[in-house]
Structure 1
Amino acid sequence: MLHVVDSVLHQTFSDLSRVLPEEGVGLWSGHGQDVRTWTFLPNAAEARERRVRFAVHPQDWIDALRGVSERGEVPLALVHSHPTAPAVPSAYDRKNWFTPELWCVIVSFADSTPKWNLYRL
Structure 2
Amino acid sequence: MTIKIERPVLEAMLAHGRREMPNEACGYLAAREGVVCRHFELTNRDAAPDHFTMDPAEQFAAIRRMRDEGLQPAAVYHSHPETPARPSEEDIRLANDPNTAYVIVSLVEGTDPVRAFRINRGEVVELPLEVVA
Alignment TM-score, normalising by the size of structure 1: 0.90
Q: Would you say the 8 A contact 1:13–1:114 is kept in 2?
A: no
Cα shift at 1:31: 2.5
| 1:108–1:114 CA contact under 8 A, matched in 2 | yes
**Corresponding residue number in structure 1 for 2:22:** 21
Measured against aligned partners, the alpha-carbon deviations of 1:46-84 in whole angstroms (never above 9, x if no partner) come to x4xx11001112111111111111110110010000000
Are the counterparts in 2 of residues 23 and 53 from structure 1 also a CA contact under 8 Å?
yes
**Aligned counterparts of 2:37 and 2:97: Cα–Cα separation in 1:** 19
Higher strand share: 2
Q: 1:21 to 1:79 in 2, by over 3 A?
A: same
Corresponding residue for 2:125? none
1:1-121 to 2 correspondences below 5 Å: 1-45=2-46, 47=47, 50-111=48-109, 115-121=113-119
Structure 1: runs of 5+ lacking an equivalent: none
* Native 8 Å contact 2:77 2:105 kept in 1: yes
Count of aligned residue pairs for this structure pair: 118
Write the distance in 2 (CA, Å) between the matches of 1:97 and 1:44: 18
TM-score by length of 2: 0.82
Structure number with the bigger relative contact order (C-alpha 8 A, sep ≥ 6) is 2
Moved more, 35-44 or 96-105: 96-105
Q: Percent identity?
A: 28
In structure 2, distance between residues paired with 1:103 and 1:69: 18
Deviation at 1:26, TM superposition (A): 0.9
Judged with a 3 Å threshold, the aligned counterparts in structure 2 of structure 1 residues 61 and 97 are, in CA distance, closer, same or farther, namely same
Cα deviations across residues 27-49 of structure 1 (Å, max 9, x unaligned)? 1101343101011001012x4xx
Coordinate RMSD, CA, aligned: 1.5
Unaligned runs of 5+ in 2: 120-133
Q: Give, as a single letter, the amino acid of the residue that structure 1 aligns with 2:41.
A: F
Distance 2:58 2:97 in 1: 15
